[in-house]
Structure 1
Amino acid sequence: MKLLTGNDLKTGAVTWWSGTDWSIHVEDAVDVAGHEDEIARREEAARRVNAPYIVDAEVNQGTPRPVHIKERVRALGPTVRPDLTLKPADPDIGNWVI
């Protein structure tokens, strides 16, 4: 499985390609294998994301999970302060800015 990730140009937030748009939740990411270069070029040209790139991932209990530890930290947040980790059910997540 291949995921497309980058950073939102307005906020700097880590984003994941969801198939139609960008999401800050890795759970929304979709497999882009075979189309990764085309999507990355199009989205970078649209100036919605900075430096999109592909990461290897696996499905774990139905959820995409980056294979490399660096990408897992980008997806889930800090490893030393669990209280800082992004939580999908957080009502303030829409207002979250780095």
Structure 2
Amino acid sequence: MKIMTANRLVDGEVVWYGNGQWIETIDGAEIVVDPAEEARLEALGKQAMAANLILDLALIDIEVVDGAIRPKRLRERIRAAGPTIRNDLGKQARTQLSRAA
């Protein structure tokens, strides 16, 4: 299982692709499970890069734990939640957002 992530160009915010747009929470990311779906997502991401909407595009491996999307790599968990030493900064400081880490 994979999802697509990037950084929004205007402010550097970590975003995920879901519901036909770039969103700020991982829990709304579109999950794909086969190479054809991965290629479709990657093509959409490349279009967004060409339009200068995002940069640092990546398809990342995930697992679903208790109904929540959880990146397999620690780097991606940190990108989803924010700094590991300051819980008052980043996405984890926004109480309305779910935590991926």
TM normalised by structure 2 equals 0.78
Choose 10-19 or 43-52, whichever is displaced more: 43-52
Give unpaired runs (5+ residues) of structure 1.
91-98
Q: 2:89 aligns with which of 65, 84, 87?
A: 84
What is the aligned-residue identity percentage? 32
What's the C-alpha RMSD, in Å, of the aligned pairs? 1.7
Runs of 4+ in structure 1 over 6 Å off: none
The alignment covers a number of residue pairs equal to: 90
Deviation digits for residues 20-56 of structure 1 (CA, Å, limit 9, x no counterpart): 1111111111114422322222221222111311110
Give unpaired runs (5+ residues) of structure 2.
none
SS in 2 for 1:84: coil
TM normalised by structure 1 equals 0.80
In structure 2, distance between residues paired with 1:88 and 1:63: 16
